[in-house]
Every structure is written in C-alpha cells, then in structure tokens.
Amino acid sequence: MFMTMLSAYYVLLHKLSGQTDIIIGSPIAGRDAKQSEKLVGMFVNTLALRQDVSTAETFADLLENVKEMTLKAFEHQHYPFDKLVDDLSLDRDLSRSPIFQAAMGYVTDSLDVNLKGLTSEHVMVHHTVSKFDLTLHIFEQEEQLSIHVEYNTDLFDQETIHRYMNYYLHVLDGMTAQPERTFADYCLMDKVEQAAMILGKNQTDTPYPKRTLQELFEEQVKRDPYRIALSYMDEHMTYEALDKKATKLAAYLQSKGIGPGSLVPMLFDRSFDMIVSVLGIIKSGAAYVPMSPEYPDARIRLIVRDTQSDVIITQSHLADRLVGFYRYKDYHGQANTRNKCSVSKRIIDYR
C-alpha cells in the first residue's frame, strides 16, 4: 500500500510541476533488527526516494519502478540523512530544505496503546511550522486510510491544498481502476472541474460601452485633466495637455479635407508624438494606419498606396523615408520639444 500511495504522489507532483525527476523524502523507523524492537529510543532516519517518472508509460510500470527503487533504498536505510547532505556538498538555501521539498510519511502500526492501569486517547498534534513545502501523513488503521497534509502557507492556501488532494484521490482512482493506462495524458481534474475550467472560465462576456474612443478619452480629460496621461523616460504629459495637442492636430487635418472615411498613414518611433497623432486622427473622424520605421520602404509604399490618402503623418527625422512619393510640409503643433514630427501628400511634420 505504501508504494501505491507513493507512486500516486509521484504522478501528482509530476503533473503539477511538469518535472520528471522527482525526489520525495520519507521517514523510516530504522528498527529492522530484532534486537531494536524493545529498545527505547529514536531510530528514525529519512530516505530521499528519487524516481524518474519518464521511464514509465503506464501506472503499472511506474508502480513497478517505484517498488524496485524503494526496496533498494531500504537496503541503505541506516545511512544518516545529515551525512548524505554533507557528503553531497550542496549549496544551502535557507528558503527550502536540501535535496527534497516534498515528503510522505506512512504509519501502519496500530495507534492503540495498552498500558496497565492507564487509559490513552489519540491526539493529533497540529504543527505551526511546516518542515517541507508539502508533506502527506498517511495513517493505515484496519481497513481505512486517513491522509493529513502539512504545507507551507507561504506557497499554498487552503483552497489550493484541497484541490491538490482531490487530484491525488483522482490519481489513486485511476491507478486502481486502470493500472495499464498511460498516465502522460491522464487529467488530474474530474469532469466537473474540467467543465468549470473550459466553460465557466471562458464566460468572459463584458458589456461594451456604447461610446467611441474619442468620447471615453474626453470623459477622462474632464474627470482628471491634470492627471498624468503619458510617461516616457523623464517626461510626462497630462490629459489636458494631450487633449489640447490632439485637438489642434485634428483641426489642422480637417482643414486639409481629412474626416470620416479617410485613412491617414502614420510613421513614428515610440513617442508622445505617436499618441498625439493617433488621438488627433481619431478626433478628426478619420482612421489611423500605423507604420513602423522597421518596415522596409517597399512595404511602406504599399501601405500608403492602398490607403489612397492625401496625408501622411510622421516625425521629421523619418520624413526622408517618404520623400519621392509625397511632398513635404511642416506642421507646428508643439507636441514635444524632444521630437519633431511631420504631415503631408502632403507629409505633415508634426512638431
């Protein structure tokens, strides 16, 4: 039973982490010699049980591999765990235990204590500090198994642990019902959780505001005119300043015949000018067609030709990319002292 529970734990950790080479720590009584049975003392040692789950295809294969590995580990149960840590000369990290961070303890002996003249009762001790990230304590009593979980609250909350334990029980069901099944495609979630994840989580319908981007932006300007709208490097621009510059550009575009139905190509580096131009084009009633300076000249010409636009907006240092198929004209909008920007078929240099 121990090896079955351990195999299911390997599958659980493999599925949750995506790792195949997994080490689980497990305490062992250390009383394999008959002479130690009646001795009073602490003989418990910790075994580091390492298993590569990628070497098995089915649950049955994994169980066989775990059985073989565990029996070999039992042969070395007297090798002190502390000495193992020292011998490996591992780099210690105070945030986690060495060698393994997941553990499993399994108790098969009866917990009934018969002391002459005394009565006893079982008391479950609740630890306030978790020794490892995740530990399963499994108690076998008669025909029942009880599982207690100890976990690091810095990593997991109670809801997550409940879900993990449901996964663990689901794996055990799969192992016992279909031992010859491959576990690579075995889903930890039951049908109810799968439906909730696939259908429930994808119910992302959101009421869309029946207002244009321009209206939403202008509402924000009225609400917080002096709030920072744009930040780049050490420069900032408020909503009010952004609105004024975009409105000025929109008026200029409209004076050149740009309005609803127009397409306006724009060639910009990332800058305040780019955002001002986007909003200015929208405010004019037109649609903007963004182009990147990284585009080859042939693609820029193709986009410009397809838009059949009388106007392009760009920055002055990029205007040379457009010379030859548009005439150049400066537009002074004072968008940003750091950059100069242009409009026209006019190429407009938006400053």
The DSSP secondary structure of 17-56, one letter per residue, reads: H--SEEEEEEEE----SGGGTT--S---EEEEEEEEGGG-
| Beta-sheet strand order (sheet of 287-291) | 287-291, 263-267, 311-315, 341-350, 327-331
- Looking at 60-69, 95-104, 285-294, which range is the least confident one? 95-104
Q: What integer pLDDT is reported at residue 252 of this predicted model? A: 93
Confidence of residue 336 (pLDDT cuts 50, 70, 90): very low
Average pLDDT on 120-137 reads: 82
Q: Is there a single domain that holds both residue 122 and residue 16?
A: yes
- Is residue 341 domain-resident? yes
- Is residue 208 domain-resident? no
Q: Given a cut of 50, is residue 131 above it in pLDDT?
A: yes
Q: What integer pLDDT is reported at residue 268 of this predicted model? A: 94
In this structure, are residues 346 and 314 in contact, taking their beta carbons and an 8 Å threshold? no
Q: Is there a single domain that holds both residue 234 and residue 111?
A: no
Higher pLDDT, 256 or 327: 256
Higher pLDDT, 335 or 9: 9
Q: Is there a single domain that holds both residue 291 and residue 316?
A: yes
b/e map 307-317, b = 16+ CB within 10 Å:
bebbbbbbbbe
CA-to-CA distance for 139 and 143, rounded, in angstroms?
Answer: 11
Domain that holds residue 181: 2-200
Last residue of a domain, one of 171, 200, 229: 200
- Is residue 335 domain-resident? yes
Q: What integer pLDDT is reported at residue 64 of this predicted model? A: 94
Average pLDDT score, the chain: 85
Q: Is there a single domain that holds both residue 83 and residue 112?
A: yes
pLDDT digits (tens, 9 = 90+) for 115-126: 777 777 777 777
Q: Is there a single domain that holds both residue 133 and residue 222?
A: no
Range list of β-strands (E), 56-157: 102-107, 134-141, 144-151
User: 40-44, 181-185, 233-237, 276-280 — which one is most confidently predicted on average?
Assistant: 276-280
- Is residue 205 domain-resident? no
Count of residues making up the chain: 351
**Helical packing angle, 239-255 and 272-284, nearest 10°:** 50
Q: What integer pLDDT is reported at residue 342 of this predicted model? A: 44
| Beta-sheet strand order (sheet of 144-151) | 45-52, 21-28, 102-107, 134-141, 144-151
- Kindly report the CATH number assigned to the domain that includes residue 335: 3.40.50.980
In this structure, are residues 278 and 266 in contact, taking their beta carbons and an 8 Å threshold? yes
β-pair partners for 27: 46
Average pLDDT on 167-174 reads: 92
Q: Is there a single domain that holds both residue 36 and residue 169?
A: yes
Q: Is there a single domain that holds both residue 60 and residue 187?
A: yes
In this structure, are residues 152 and 133 in contact, taking their beta carbons and an 8 Å threshold? yes
Q: What integer pLDDT is reported at residue 241 of this predicted model? A: 96
What the block records as the tokens of 131 is: 């020794």
Q: What integer pLDDT is reported at residue 96 of this predicted model? A: 78
User: What is the percentage of the chain residues whose pLDDT exceeds 90?
Assistant: 49
Last residue of a domain, one of 200, 221, 250: 200
CA-to-CA distance for 145 and 169, rounded, in angstroms?
Answer: 12
Q: How far is CA 330 from each of CA 260, 312, 316, rounded to the nearest angstrom?
A: 23, 12, 8
Q: Given a cut of 70, is residue 58 above it in pLDDT?
A: yes
Q: Given a cut of 80, is residue 192 above it in pLDDT?
A: yes
State the total domains in the chain.
2
CA-to-CA distance for 188 and 194, rounded, in angstroms?
Answer: 9
Q: What integer pLDDT is reported at residue 78 of this predicted model? A: 84
- Is residue 28 domain-resident? yes
Q: Is there a single domain that holds both residue 155 and residue 16?
A: yes
Q: Is there a single domain that holds both residue 230 and residue 180?
A: no
Last residue of a domain, one of 146, 175, 200: 200
Range list of β-strands (E), 246-286: 263-267
Asked whether the whole model's pTM tops 0.85, one would answer no
Q: Is there a single domain that holds both residue 47 and residue 106?
A: yes
Range list of β-strands (E), 32-175: 45-52, 102-107, 134-141, 144-151
- Kindly report the CATH number assigned to the domain that includes residue 30: 3.30.559.30
Cα dihedral 296→302→304→309 (10° resolution): 180
Q: What integer pLDDT is reported at residue 343 of this predicted model? A: 43
Within a 13 Å sphere around the CA of 249, how many CA atoms are in the beta-carbon half?
37
- Looking at 40-54, 117-131, 322-336, which range is the least confident one? 322-336
Q: Is there a single domain that holds both residue 13 and residue 107?
A: yes
What the block records as the tokens of 241 is: 């300043």
Q: What integer pLDDT is reported at residue 326 of this predicted model? A: 55
Q: Is there a single domain that holds both residue 286 and residue 180?
A: no
Q: Given a cut of 60, is residue 344 above it in pLDDT?
A: no
In this structure, are residues 192 and 33 in contact, taking their beta carbons and an 8 Å threshold? no
